[in-house]
Amino acid sequence: MKRNRLNVNIAGLQLANPTILASGILGYSVATLQSIVEGGAGAVITKSVGLKPRQGYANPTVVQTKCGLINAMGLPNPGIDEFVNEIREAKTVLDVPLIVSVYGFSEEEYALAAKKAAGAGADALELNVSCPHVKETGSEIGQNSEILAEVVRKAKAAVSKPVFVKLAPNVTDIAEIAETAARAGADAITAINTVKAMAIDAETAMPILSNKKGGLSGQAIKPIAVRCVYEVYERVKIPIIGCGGVTDWRDAVEFLLAGASAVQIGTAIATKGPNVFKTVSSGVNTYLKRKGFRSVKEIVGLSHRN
């Protein structure tokens, strides 16, 4: 990798730049992951995969609002035993770190999905303990500190790769949850997953999504995500990956100043296309140069100084 001021190291993973494809967006096929890498992503994260295949919810699963997208897909995925083939193929073609997002309905399920993903070549795992609407997984795990700690411990014991823990914003104190994950051995915290939301159709007088409630993403949630990163940074020493509404370089810089070591981008791909990764990182580079910084690292958490 060519050394430059955009390089970052997250829990041992070397990234050419601090932009990462967020989980859930285009994350199943090697071809779409490749298009994101060509768009400039420093790493990619797959859509969440669990032990068994899941169909997901009936349509509609996505609704566009004035200020962002609400989705409730219902964790559709082919199951890890099928998905390992995609992971193996992805490893032969992608030249950036591949992070596999996993979920489960118990501590053991998270650990087994993580183990199988790592065995197929995943460079790191991201535990989805924050999906806002599927029963008995996601945020139901991430909101219970005892279960969360056990999920993280078991996943760490099952793999020798870095384990990221993606947290939900729909909680009273995200920093406390981050601390629980860090104590249990998490290598990094991703903050945040979507914000629990819904939309109702005035004509039919019914909720629009088939699942009624879903998760809001996009620009509307960025200030919430920045606040969460800021709070988590004050409590844990492990790296934080910012996620939520990053659309341009200024958003990315804001997350870095709040304490993130890198940012994930998802919803903005729908409006800006895969090249959003290049646009964001070249804007961050110009900012660093203009301000006289030699690396991304120099501005991580800079807004916390007194």
**Which sequence positions are flagged as catalytic?**
131
Q: Does 114 bind ligand DHB (CB under 6 A)?
A: no
Report the SS3 class of residue 201: strand
Helices within 197-243 (DSSP H only) = 222-233
Q: Which residue is nearest to ligand DHB (CB)?
A: 131
Q: Which amino acid is at 274?
A: P
User: What is the rounded CA–CA span in Å between residue 72 and residue 287?
Assistant: 36
Query: Which distant-in-sequence residues (6+ apart) come within 8 Å of 140 by Cβ?
Result: none
Packing angle of the helix pair 276-291, 249-258 (nearest 10 deg): 60
Contact flags string 179-208 toward ligand DHB, x per CB under 6 A: --------------xx--------------
**Nearest to residue 264, comparing CAs of 20, 11, 2, 13?**
20
User: What is the rounded CA–CA span in Å between residue 237 and residue 231?
Assistant: 12
Q: Does 73 bind ligand DHB (CB under 6 A)?
A: yes
- CB nearer to ligand DHB: pick between 68 and 215: 215
Q: Does 301 bind ligand DHB (CB under 6 A)?
A: no
DSSP letter at 188 equals E
Q: In which region does residue 30 sit, left (phi positive, over 0), alpha (psi from -120 to 50) or beta (all else)?
A: alpha
**In the set 39, 68, 97, 215, which binds ligand DHB (CB under 6 A)?**
215
Provide, rounded to whole angstroms, the least separation between the CB of residue 139 and ligand DHB.
Answer: 8
**In the set 16, 30, 51, 72, which binds ligand DHB (CB under 6 A)?**
72
Q: Does 129 bind ligand DHB (CB under 6 A)?
A: no
Contact flags string 13-42 toward ligand DHB, x per CB under 6 A: -----------x------------------
Binding-site ranges for ligand DHB (CB under 6 A): 24, 71-75, 128, 130-132, 138, 193-194, 215
